[in-house]
Amino acid sequence: MELSFTSMSNNNYLKWKLNFSIVAGGNGYGDNLNQVSLARGICIDDDEQTIYVAQYNSDRIVGWKFGEESGKIVAGGNGPGDDLNQLQDPSDVTVDKKYDLLIICDQGNKRVVQWPRQTQIDPKIIIQNIKCNGVTIDNNEDIYVSEGETHSVKQFKQGEAEGTTVAGGNGYGDNPNQLHDPCYIYVDKQYSIYVSNKYGRVTKWIKNAEEGIIIAKKLIPDPIPQPSFYSFGMAVDHFGNLYMSDTHQRRIVRWLKESTECYTVMNGDSDERPLEPFNTPAAISLDHEGNLYVFDNQKNQIIKFDIDLN
């Protein structure tokens, strides 16, 4: 059986095969290299055939080669601390392919660090005094960081120590010019910025805009249940469709491009599947082929749904 979407006739959406595979973890909670626990951010590098995982509780970034049964520490892993060879509560990771670097939100140390994938080169602090939640990089090698304390997204051009606020920064709130605990961010080819928060709200900020377009209102009902941290993962496909993991309702949802209507495309407890795919979907990611990766915070594993081209 397979998932398919019938809401559009010109096939400008993704669909995935029903079956899934475990590509990282699945061996319970813990710090061993065959385990994945509290993964706050995941990044897929197709060229290197590697899944990079920001393991918040283990103070490290682990790289999982496709098909391997355990990962390898590629950053941190030397206990929590603020030395250059240490991380503390890393919350996200992305890849700068031009310079062969990992760019890491070192949240506990309130900094962003670059970690060369060549081990003979030392790590370097590139942004200081910023309590970052999410990080991404655009086609110009500019870095974007979401920050909870200022409820903003800042852009850092190459070599800049002081960033420019490109989304939010007007106090926390739900108005179009505001953000509230921004988490995951994505920048498209037109340099529009998508920003999600931990309550399921997503806004899109056109380049140089002073306020965002509200795509998704928060998915968590009022009052917010405890614990309130649900960490809605976010991904955007090459068509401009938005996908989010709804941890609270155990599902993956989608907004078609230019639409504010939400569709459920995958349920964690669907009767159509021979196996329950996930219990608490959190961080998600898409690779260049459109395959979907989902971290399950309860099952402590990352699963992959292959794209269906039929």
> pLDDT tens digits for 154-195?
999 988 888 999 999 999 988 999 998 999 999 999 999 999
**151 in Cβ contact with 158 (< 8 Å):** no
**62 in Cβ contact with 82 (< 8 Å):** no
**pLDDT at residue 50 tops 90:** yes
DSSP 62: E
d(CA 275, CA 303): 12
The average pLDDT across 252-276 equals 76
Tell me what pLDDT residue 134 has.
96
Tell me what pLDDT residue 220 has.
58
Per DSSP bridges, beta strands 281-286 and 292-296 are antiparallel
Of 4-18, 30-44, 257-271, the range with the lowest mean pLDDT is 4-18
Percent of the chain with pLDDT over 90: 69
Q: What residue ranges define each of the domains in the chain, with the CATH number in brackets?
A: 16-307 (2.120.10.30)
Tell me what pLDDT residue 11 has.
65
CA 277 to chain centroid: 19
Q: Which two tokens stand for residue 122?
A: 């030392």
Select from 197, 301, 210 the least CA-distant residue to 244.
Answer: 197
The count of other CB atoms within 10 Å of the CB of residue 310 is 6
pLDDT in tens, 199-210: 778 999 999 999
78 Cβ neighbours under 8 A, 6+ residues apart: 59, 85, 86
**pLDDT at residue 3 tops 60:** no
pLDDT tier at 102, thresholds 50, 70, 90: very high
What pTM value is reported for the model? Answer: 0.90
Does 191 or 216 have the greater pLDDT score? 191
The average pLDDT across 243-271 equals 82
